Structure formats: C-alpha cells, structure tokens
C-alpha cells in the first residue's frame, strides 16, 4: 500500500509487486531510465564492511536498481542527478528503540525534526501515549506513522500500565494487545518491561507473548539487571532484544545468549561510553549490537542531533566507522526482519540513503527516503500540512478536581524535632537506574523539611486521571536545587504529575500550573512561574515545531541551573523517577516503591 503525503510517496512496508519488479529488472538491464542517480560517491557497503570508491547508484520507483561505476546509460532528461564526488553514501539511519513521546512532539513533528540528521526509520514503542489514552492513543500514532516522511515502525505496547501497581489513564490487556498486533501496520510486541510477570509466569503476560508468537511478530525486551538463570529464563520466552544494559559485562552476557543488544545514548541516560567497552575492550563482534536513543528530547535533537549524533559518538569511542554505521542500519534491519527492504544499498532495496561529507564526523549533507530528497544541509524539505493540529480528543486529559495546596506536600515524621533516618531516592546522573539511600533527614515541628545543604529534597507524584489527585510523597538526592520546584506531567510510564521541590508553596504552584496548561513542564521559584513548556496533547507532547519547544526547554534548563542543579537535563531525570520497572527506588502516587523487592515500602528506615 502506498501512502501519499504532500506528493511524497512513502512505502511503509510492502512487498515487491509485479510492476516494481519489472521496472527494476528493465532499469538494471539499461532498457529503462532511472528516476534518480547519485554519481561518483564512496559507497559504505554494510554487507561487506568496506568503503567502495567511485560508485554510482541508480534508483527506480523508490528502490535501488543499479550500483556500479558507470550509470550514464541510465540517465535521461527527466532523471534527477546529484554528483556527490568526495562524499559518502550510507543506508538511512534507523533508531532501534525510541519513544517518540520523549521528543515531546507528535510523530509528524518528530519526523520533521530528525530527517536532517539522517534518520529515515524508527522502531517505536508508543506506550507513553497508550498509558494516557489506550488503544486510541496507539491508533493515532499508527495514523501519523502512515503519513510520515520517515518509516515509523510501531510496536504494540506490552505493559500498559507498566506494572499492576501503576495508576494510569488506560489499560491494554491481552485482548487489546492482540487486537493491535493484528493491525497490519504494527511490527511486534514492544519492550516486555514487566520481567517479574514473565518470570512468575503470570497468565496475562504470557498471553501477550504467545499472541505475538502466533502472529509471527517480534518481541522486544527490557531486562535491566537481569543475569544468570533469571536472564536465561526471560530469553527462553522468545524475547531476543534489550536496551537496558549499562555495563559491558551485561552486553557480553546478553549477546552470548542470542540477544540483540540496543546500546542506548539518549538525553538523560547516556550509556555508550560504558556499553561499547564490550567491543573496544572485550572484543565482541558488533553484529548483534544496535544503536538506540530510547528517549531524545527536542533540544538535543535540534542542537546535538539524533542518529547522526549517536553514530558519531560510537566512532569517537573507538568503533570503526563502517561498523558503527552497520549498528544503525543493517543490524537494525536484521533484528526487525525488514532486511529484505532496508538496511543496505543494493539492487531491490528501498532507496533510503544518507550523503555524508565526512565518514568519521558523520556530517549529513542530504537525506533521501524512497529516492526522494527530503533533507539537505541541516534543513528538512518536508513539513506537516499547513494548519496541522492534533485531533481534539487528545487534549484536556488531566483530570484533577481540586486545587493542590502546600499542605499536600507535608511529610509527617515519627519524631517532633531532630533527625530521622529515611529511604531516599538516589539519582545516578545520566543513567536510568536509581540508588536506595539511607540518609539522615531533618524534622521541624513534626514534619520532614528539605535540606539543600545535603541535597535532600521532597519529591511527589500527583495522580491525574481519577479526579482525586492522590499524592505519594518521598525524598530525593541529586537534583541540587537551592530553591524552587520542578513539576512535569511527563512521568514514565504512567504520566501522572511528578514534582521535586525545596518548599511546599513553590511545589504546589508548579503542579497547579501544569494542570492549567493541560500538561507540560514548569519551574516555579519564590512563588512565581519562571519557565514553562506547554505539552497539551495527552499532557505529554505538542503539535508545535521542534525549534519552538527546544527554545522553551532552553529557558527552563537555564532556570534550573540558576537554582543550583548540575544535572544535564533535570526534567528528563525527573521523568523516570516514577518508573517502577527499573531499580532501585521510585516514587508513585501510592508512595515509595522498592523495585528490587517489588513492593511498596515505608519512607522511614
């Protein structure tokens, strides 16, 4: 099926039909002329791990028809010809695991933002929008995937909510998951985060896995910290990939068990420096390794890049450039079983190509999808339709029927004055994991107070779906704020409202402003709003351009740094502190949760 979008035809994932086959054969034989020719390039051949000089590439009907030294006989007056002498052509880059929602953009706005960075395909898990809006949220992403200029492959969220303990706006049970898996535009079952459910053979979890097997679709994994017999039990269910490794030994163990390991370099958690030691120090082969962002915010996309940045970083850390490119192209295609169409530049493959002026610096000059030039010199040539706006049913999703007050954030202590030992969430900068700390905390007039000198602040989650506004309270170490409060309705994966603050008044002010906006991120200080990012679509994304959101984030980040935070992106760090499928300690609307023990625990030690 061909989907038309502003005159650009994008094949989502289709078989070769008779007409396309005929035209490819006749073009290769020189009996038909090419639609597009790239001349005199150095081809990065990911199949043979070599760079071949003085190559020309001819494209017909969106697919590569011929790769060779001389294509003059395939050129006519209607052929678009680009002389790329001195440059390199690679297959289009693909992100093996990303949540588009973490870009804070709709899929169309995300596509517009990443195209200039060489990204031509992404494999997504829309479980963030699913936790807010359920099936209709996933179907909105599928609809936009079919209209997008890049290839957005949709995996069906497996854990909505992430665990039975989460409070969310929707649930995807086995019935809903199988319904979505039967959609021809879904490619697999997304990361199976509830590894406790897998290992305990919980019936609802197994039924989702079996549905994917029955329909011949892949199953993505999520195995933070799993090792030895626990990991082997997890893999035995047919879950053959994982993106949660943070150390080289994890990468080695998982690849030895036949898992594709997605090496993550996102915005808040940057794991490449450690995980790539599996290659540079342990010497393992890269064929089972993929590159992934997992989460990439719009500021970093605009100013740092997307897959071009991750490939570049991989090379800087010591990996051969061709191997690094394979990890974002062929290896990804092999894992997701689309290598028949994507992943390399060869006859019959879809003509998704990136032109670079430097193989190590990964400077993207041109991006082609389906043989159409869609980005050039850092600018997207594709844009959403004029007056583009997300459907109205995606707005007004925050339901809190009361005003949040400073009283809501008071923590009653077991003593009246002095110091008490408490469990504190310990942030690990640029990693998704947290540490369970036991720290002395101050008590005044029977209530716990923040301690900016020792960097112990209050953290809370405010439930946003039922109207009650239930609040779970805890303590956190690592934000570094000397004043103010940071609140966000981005809270993986339930997307209740998370807030960290020095004092109760600013904390309440920040939360109420998030509610008023219909979702977003707010920094409040000294009883005034200092910065805000509006995210009214599902309370987690926006249909505005990436540059606009990036500017708002830049102002927000500046305010948090003025307040004393040394975290690269404190709002990204905050967003995962309610994610109760990654060790060790997390906050929920019901209180403190110990992931390793898989239970709610008391705040006080």
- Please, which pLDDT band fits residue 17 given cuts at 50, 70 and 90? confident
pLDDT of residue 2: 37
DSSP assignment of 403-471 equals: ---GGGG-EE-SSSSEEEEEEEEEE-TTSS-EEEEEEEEEEETTEE--BTTTTEEEEEEE--SSBS--E
Cis peptide before 584 (omega within 30 of 0): yes
pLDDT of residue 3: 37
- Please, which pLDDT band fits residue 580 given cuts at 50, 70 and 90? confident
- Please, which pLDDT band fits residue 13 given cuts at 50, 70 and 90? low
Contact 487, 524 (CB under 8 A): yes
The percent of residues above 90 in pLDDT, for the chain, comes to 90
Rounded CA separation 346/66 (Å)? 7
Average pLDDT over residues 111-125: 98
Average pLDDT over residues 467-482: 96
DSSP-based three-state secondary structure for 317 = coil
The percent of residues above 70 in pLDDT, for the chain, comes to 98
pLDDT tens per residue, range 478-533: 999 999 999 999 998 899 999 999 999 999 999 999 999 999 999 999 999 999 99
Residue 12 pLDDT more than 90? no
- Around 72, how many Cα atoms within 13 Å sit in the side-chain half-sphere? 1
Position with higher pLDDT, 6 vs 542: 542
Contact 547, 460 (CB under 8 A): no
Helices (H), 327-434: 330-335
pLDDT of residue 388: 95
Rounded CA separation 315/319 (Å)? 5
Average pLDDT over residues 48-76: 95
Residue 585 pLDDT more than 50? yes
CB atoms within 10 A of CB 399: 14
pLDDT of residue 61: 93
- Domain assignments of the chain as residue spans, ordered by start: 91-381, 394-601
Rounded CA separation 212/339 (Å)? 20
Residues in the chain: 605
Based on its alpha-carbon atoms, the radius of gyration of the chain, rounded to whole angstroms, reads 25
pLDDT of residue 35: 97
Fold annotation for 91-381: TIM Barrel (3.20.20)
- Please, which pLDDT band fits residue 568 given cuts at 50, 70 and 90? confident
pLDDT of residue 6: 37
Contact 559, 524 (CB under 8 A): no
- Please, which pLDDT band fits residue 10 given cuts at 50, 70 and 90? very low
Average pLDDT over residues 211-221: 96
- Please, which pLDDT band fits residue 1 given cuts at 50, 70 and 90? very low
- Around 430, how many Cα atoms within 13 Å sit in the side-chain half-sphere? 12
Both tokens of 360, joined, read: 């190590």
pLDDT tens per residue, range 145-190: 999 999 999 999 999 998 788 899 999 999 999 999 999 999 999 9
Residue 4 pLDDT more than 70? no
Average pLDDT over residues 93-108: 97
pLDDT of residue 15: 66
Beta bridge partners of 123: 153
- Please, which pLDDT band fits residue 14 given cuts at 50, 70 and 90? low
pLDDT of residue 604: 94
- Please, which pLDDT band fits residue 11 given cuts at 50, 70 and 90? very low
Residue 429 pLDDT more than 90? no
Rounded CA separation 560/127 (Å)? 28
- Please, which pLDDT band fits residue 27 given cuts at 50, 70 and 90? very high
pLDDT tens per residue, range 336-374: 999 999 999 999 999 999 999 999 999 999 999 999 999
Average pLDDT over residues 443-455: 95
Both tokens of 145, joined, read: 């995937």
Residue 326 pLDDT more than 50? yes
């Amino acid at each position: 099926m061909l989907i038309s979008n502003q005159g650009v035809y994008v094949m989502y994932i289709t078989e070769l039909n008779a007409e396309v086959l005929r035209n490819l054969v006749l073009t290769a034989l020189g009996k038909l002329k090419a639609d597009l020719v790239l001349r005199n390039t150095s081809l990065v051949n990911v199949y043979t791990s070599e760079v071949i000089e003085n190559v020309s590439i001819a494209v017909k009907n969106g697919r590569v028809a011929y790769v060779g030294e001389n294509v003059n006989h395939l050129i006519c007056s209607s052929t678009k010809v680009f002389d790329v002498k001195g440059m390199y052509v690679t297959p289009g880059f693909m992100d093996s695991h990303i949540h588009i929602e973490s870009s804070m953009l709709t899929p169309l706005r995300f596509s517009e933002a990443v195209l200039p960075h060489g990204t031509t395909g992404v494999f997504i898990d829309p479980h963030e929008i699913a936790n807010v809006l359920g099936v209709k949220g996933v179907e909105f992403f599928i609809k936009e995937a079919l209209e997008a200029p890049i290839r957005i492959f949709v995996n069906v969220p497996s854990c909505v909510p992430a665990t039975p303990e989460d409070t969310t706006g929707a649930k995807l049970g086995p019935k809903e998951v199988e319904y979505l898996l039967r959609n021809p535009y879904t490619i697999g079952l997304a990361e199976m985060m509830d590894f406790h459910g897998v290992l305990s053979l919980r019936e609802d979890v197994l039924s989702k896995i079996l549905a994917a097997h029955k329909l011949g679709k892949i199953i993505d994994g999520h195995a933070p910290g799993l090792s030895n017999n626990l990991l082997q039990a997890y893999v035995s269910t047919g879950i053959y990939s994982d993106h949660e490794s943070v150390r080289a030994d994890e990468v080695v163990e998982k690849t030895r068990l036949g898992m594709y390991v997605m090496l993550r370099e996102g915005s808040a958690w940057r794991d490449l420096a450690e995980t790539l030691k599996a290659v540079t120090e342990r010497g393992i082969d890269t064929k089972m390794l993929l590159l992934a962002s997992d989460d990439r915010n719009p500021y970093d996309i605009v100013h740092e890049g997307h897959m071009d940045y991750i490939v570049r970083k991989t090379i800087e850390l010591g990996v051969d450039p061709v191997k690094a490119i394979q990890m974002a192209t062929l290896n990804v295609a092999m894992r997701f079983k689309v290598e028949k169409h994507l992943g390399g530049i060869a006859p019959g493959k879809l003509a998704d190509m990136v032109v670079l002026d430097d193989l190590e610096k990964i400077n993207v000059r041109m991006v082609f999808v389906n043989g159409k030039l869609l980005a050039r010199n850092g600018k997207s040539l594709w844009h959403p339709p004029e007056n583009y706006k997300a459907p109205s049913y995606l707005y007004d999703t925050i339901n809190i029927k009361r005003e949040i007050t400073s009283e809501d954030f008071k923590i009653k202590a077991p003593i009246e004055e002095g110091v008490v030992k408490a469990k504190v969430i310990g942030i690990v900068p640029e990693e998704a994991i947290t540490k369970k700390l036991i720290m002395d905390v101050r008590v005044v007039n029977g209530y716990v107070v923040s301690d900016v000198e020792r960097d112990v602040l209050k953290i809370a989650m405010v439930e946003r779906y039922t109207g009650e506004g239930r609040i779970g309270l805890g303590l956190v170490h690592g934000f570094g704020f000397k004043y103010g409060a940071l609140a966000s309705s981005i809270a993986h994966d339930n997307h209740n409202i998370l807030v960290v603050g020095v004092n109760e008044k600013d904390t309440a002010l920040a939360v109420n402003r998030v509610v008023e906006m219909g979702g977003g991120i707010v920094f409040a200080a000294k009883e005034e709003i200092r910065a805000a990012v509006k995210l009214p679509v599902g309370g987690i994304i926006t249909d505005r351009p990436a540059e606009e959101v990036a500017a708002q984030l830049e102002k927000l980040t500046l305010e948090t740094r003025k307040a004393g935070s040394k975290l690269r992106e404190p709002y990204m760090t905050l967003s995962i502190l309610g994610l109760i499928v990654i060790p060790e300690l997390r906050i929920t609307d019901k209180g403190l949760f110990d992931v390793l023990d898989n239970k709610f625990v008391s705040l006080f030690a």
